[in-house]
């Protein structure tokens, strides 16, 4: 029997909507996590989830300033950002925090498929996502409240159907 790996539950508390100018000010010791960007897209409309990113080693303010595509968006005046910070019973080490941010970002991208995340190679951590479960709290906007790696990764891609029931 295979070894049972415990589920890793990652809690994220979301705040927003914020303007790019508001986000530029988020440089404090707790301003790390995952972020969502909403804006115009030629296929998805004027208020679509277009990108999910992470600020694991840099604050939200530093990381999002490095994103250069948003001011050129055809609806740049209405760009909205939601920032998500990890929450839990105890503050994790920096290494654990960065790993959880990375896993949460990848799983949320898997589940939501934002248009501008198409270049990211997500399959590299797929086995690491199998037992990750993200719980989204607060102002989650268009995210699902719960996202499970058991559902969105390849964990059950090869699951066998039940055999025929006997009468």
Distance between CA 142 and CA 139 in Å, rounded?
9
CB 135 within 8 A of CB 13: no
Q: What is the mean pLDDT of residues 81-104?
A: 94
Enclosing H/E stretch for 85: strand 80-87
DSSP 53: E
How many CB atoms are closer than 10 A to CB 135? 16
Mean pLDDT value across residues 112-134: 77
As given in the structure block, the two tokens for residue 85 are: 């910070």
3-state secondary structure at position 121: coil
Q: 155 or 61: which carries more pLDDT confidence?
A: 61
Q: What is the pTM of this model?
A: 0.87
């Amino acid at each position: 029997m295979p070894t049972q790996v415990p589920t890793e539950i990652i809690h994220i508390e979301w705040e927003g909507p914020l303007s790019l100018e508001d986000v530029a000010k988020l440089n404090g010791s707790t301003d790390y996590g995952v972020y969502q960007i909403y804006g115009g897209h030629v296929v998805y409309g004027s208020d679509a989830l277009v990108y999910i990113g992470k600020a694991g080693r840099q604050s939200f303010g530093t990381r999002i300033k490095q994103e250069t595509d948003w001011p050129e968006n055809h609806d740049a005046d209405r760009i909205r950002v939601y920032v998500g910070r990890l929450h839990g019973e105890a503050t994790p080490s920096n290494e654990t925090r960065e790993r959880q941010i990375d896993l949460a970002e990848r799983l949320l991208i898997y589940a939501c498929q934002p248009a501008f995340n198409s270049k990211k190679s997500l399959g590299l951590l797929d086995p690491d996502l199998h037992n990750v479960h993200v719980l989204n709290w607060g102002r989650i906007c268009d995210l699902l409240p719960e996202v499970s790696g058991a559902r969105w990764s390849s964990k059950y891609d090869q699951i066998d159907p039940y055999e025929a029931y006997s009468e």
